[in-house]
Amino acid sequence: MKGTTMTLALAVAAALVCLASAQNITECPDGFEDFGDGTAVGPCLYFVRSKATWSNHRSLCQALGADLAQVTGDLHQDVVDYINDQPADDLADEAFWIGGSDANKEGSWIWVMDDTAIPLGTPHWYPCNGQPNGGTTQNHLSLYSPDFYYHSLEQTKQIFAICQIFE
Ligand SMILES: [Ca+2]
């Protein structure tokens, strides 16, 4: 009897492991776009088409099991291409909160979901007006129209947002 119970427990555990891994690899949840390279699913991004502050949109992302997006590396260009490829009046005239901040220490930009540093300068920051340029009044990170490079903004600004699911 004890052996049967053990076997059943292992079977249940194995089923749960399979279920969890299947959820991770089969597809992005409804509303999330798959920015994978075709060999794997993800990053999964959700474009929030309503305007709110950085903090309110971060809460919304977290309610979806996500966080504000970490748009870096090649993903940055992929996101810019995606925004510009959408139908007219959808996304290309908007600005988007993403998950960067220097609120804790002026000039030291970090990704808030994992505390990793965000290097200044090229290739991600908008180069033409010295971004980030707002000093202590602008401590949160956006992709701003029409270039969608990184721009610092006041966190009370009401704009769209991009959420991302982190494993
Ligand atoms: Ca700042």
Residues 5-44 pLDDT 10s: 555 555 555 544 444 444 455 899 999 999 998 888 999 9
Buried b (16+ CB within 10 A) or exposed e, 127-141: eeeebbeeeeebbbb
Distance 44 CA to ligand 1 centre (A): 28
**Confidence check: pLDDT of 144 > 60:** yes
- Kindly indicate the confidence band of residue 143, based on its pLDDT and cuts at 50, 70 and 90: very high
Distance 88 CA to ligand 1 centre (A): 32
pTM of the model: 0.84
Distance 108 CA to ligand 1 centre (A): 8
Strands 96-101 and 159-164: parallel
Distance 157 CA to ligand 1 centre (A): 14
**Confidence check: pLDDT of 3 > 60:** no
Residues 132-142 pLDDT 10s: 999 999 999 99
More confident residue, 23 or 155: 155
State the Cα–Cα distance between residues 158 and 144, nearest whole angstrom.
12
Distance 140 CA to ligand 1 centre (A): 7
- Kindly indicate the confidence band of residue 167, based on its pLDDT and cuts at 50, 70 and 90: confident
Distance 159 CA to ligand 1 centre (A): 18
**Confidence check: pLDDT of 1 > 80:** no
The string of DSSP letters for 58-120 reads HHHHHHTT-EE----THHHHHHHHHHHHSPTTTSTT--EEEEEE-SSSTT--EETTT--B---
Q: Within 10 A of 88 (CB to CB), how many other CB atoms are there?
A: 7
Contact predicate 143/95, CB 8 Å: yes
Residues 72-114 pLDDT 10s: 999 999 999 999 999 988 999 999 999 999 999 999 999 999 9
pLDDT of residue 38: 85
State the Cα–Cα distance between residues 157 and 150, nearest whole angstrom.
15
- Name the residue among 163, 133, 134 with its Cα closest to residue 32: 163
pLDDT of residue 19: 46
State the Cα–Cα distance between residues 6 and 23, nearest whole angstrom.
26
